[in-house]
A and B are shown apart, each in its own frame.
Chain A
Amino acid sequence: MAEVLVYVDHVDGAVRKPTLELLTLARRIGEPVAVALGNGAADTAAALAEHGAVKVLTADAPEFTDYLVVPKVDALQAAYDAVSPAAVLLPSSAEAKEIAARLALRIGSGIITDAVDLEAGDGGPVATQSAFAASYTTKSRVSKGVPVITVKPNSAAVEAAPAAGAVEALTVSFSATATGTKVLSRTPRESTGRPELTEAAIVVSGGRGVNGAENFAIIEALADSLGAAVGASRAAVDAGWYPHTNQVGQTGKSVSPQLYIASGISGAIQHRAGMQTSKTIVAVNKDAEAPIFDLVDYGVVGDLFAVVPQLTDEVKSRKG
């Protein structure tokens, strides 16, 4: 069976959920060979084996942390040369997309980004994507070279499928451009204890109607009652009420959770572009004419300051 290279997104050895989803999709088209780089790379092996990796190629070197993107491209290319895979899959994070692009160019292949589904086809893997603010669904193939495809979080359910997951050290020789962009310092983001926005099963978002940074506590309380991530519309972010890292929309993050709750968000096209593929959509807004209500499975026309806290209390009491 053909081997499929899977780039591993991990933090100090802890594999992030989108990579486990990727392994599930990779098994549809071949045998996953995982590539884990940087600090803690070898520690990823157990989780990767548990989810179907037949082999785990690892490399660690100061270059991966001290310089931007290119050292990781060099390593992935080394893995590509060693394995000769039928496809290369990466998660759709900002960094992994850049790695994917440069690898594709080097190996003479086309690239597809932000796939939401992947299946085996006669002419290689077929990727499903959303286009034009999710108003279209397209099916695409890479027509030249070995397909390089990045896949969005929440595109597949994680399935356990124990495999050997034998760890092998990967030998990497860094290119002349590897040390081009120096990382002078790195400040980790403070953890909120909430799930990561793009990975979360439930997202609770606030917009202009939240009317102030201090009022986001109402949104956070609902999110915490549901174990959800917190999102914000561009209006709320531009007003300085919530960090940009939580922005959902065309210029922010694109999310596709099981449940999306929009509070005080009118639903401009730019926001819809980032959340329209959510499975179930719920909105609370006092303007009955707000375009968000065209998208909802359930909507409440009302004051979020009354409705949201009542909902939070109800969730808490039902969960006991």
Chain B
Amino acid sequence: MSLRIVVCVKYVPDATGDRHFADDLTLDRDDVDGLLSELDEYAVEQALQIADEADDAEITVLTVGPEDAKDALRKALSMGADKAVHVEDDDLHGTDVIGTSLVLAKAVEKTGYDLVICGMASTDGTMGVLPALLAERLGVPQVTLLSEVSVDGTTVKGRRDGDSASEQLEASLPAVVSVTDQSGEARYPSFKGIMAAKKKPVESLDLEDLEIEAEEVGLGGSWTAVDSAAERPARTAGTIVKDEGEGGKQLAEFLAGQKFI
């Protein structure tokens, strides 16, 4: 029986670009390039490795986002995913994490799955709660923040490295997994992979397909409200000295002046 893996990915603004809020206090996507969230590349990589070990597996990469988000899907397909699902709907603009988890849960169920793999967090919102929300909505085990993951038959195992301890976890499929940037370097798409990706199917779904009402999502359906966003004032220029042999002592003098010593 084929192992059905769904990888949830996010199209995010390039962190090295100049990120801004738009007038409605959502992300201004016009001013900055987007890309597949780096942390989701690790999820795609682990999906590919799990599929390699399985007798028969199919990897679907799933995203919720505007037209441009197809770029993130293409990247994942060029790495080796088999097909893609793109949930796109104007009414999704401004959806918060609770709403996003609803859309992803419905799309995952519609696609069919044994294993859902996510990155540990997005590189823009950085909340890190989506995988747990997805598991709660789907009613399946969460096996999250793994730095090592493997699937054996219908069992998923992994290692979760926390602040105070390292845990070995185990759950039965179906399950939701999230992986950290320690899970293994993500591969670069090959030229062959990039060419093959152009021919792979990308299915488009909208809210109606998922039987979700517009009021449940979007800025209006959001469960949180951003009242203000202020650009942090630029730091006032600090003192910079060149070490002429006394740099450490000068630094100590500064720290003493600030009462750190």
Contacts and interface: CB of A to CB of B under 8 A. Distances in A.
Contacts of B112: none
19 contacts: A11-B164, A94-B145, A102-B132, A102-B135, A110-B96, A112-B224, A135-B232, A139-B227, A198-B163, A281-B238, A294-B235, A296-B238, A296-B240, A297-B235, A298-B238, A298-B251, A303-B243, A307-B248, A308-B248
B229 A137 contact: yes
Given A183-B169, A307-B248, A111 B223 contact: yes
Main secondary structure of the interface of B (DSSP, over half): mixed
A181 B252 contact: no
Contacts of B98: 104-105, 110-111
B36 interface: no
Interface of B: 15-16, 19-21, 25, 38-39, 96-98, 101, 120, 123-124, 126-133, 135-137, 139-145, 147, 157, 160-172, 175, 180-182, 222-232, 235, 238-243, 245-252, 254-256, 258, 260-261
B230 A136 contact: yes
Interface of A: 11, 68-70, 73, 93-95, 97-98, 100-102, 104-106, 109-114, 126, 130-145, 177, 180-189, 196, 198, 202, 226, 244-245, 250-251, 254, 258-259, 269-270, 273, 280-282, 284, 288, 293-303, 306-315, 318-319
Contacts of B249: 310-311, 314
Given A142-B223, A188-B164, A309-B248, A137 B242 contact: no
Contact of B169 (A102, A106, A182, A297): A182
Nearest to B233: A137
Contacts of B123: 250-251
B232 A311 contact: no
A307 B223 contact: no
A101 B166 CA distance: 22
Main secondary structure of the interface of A (DSSP, over half): mixed
Contacts of B245: 306
Question: Which of B131, B157, B164 has the largest number of chain A CB atoms within 10 A?
Answer: B164
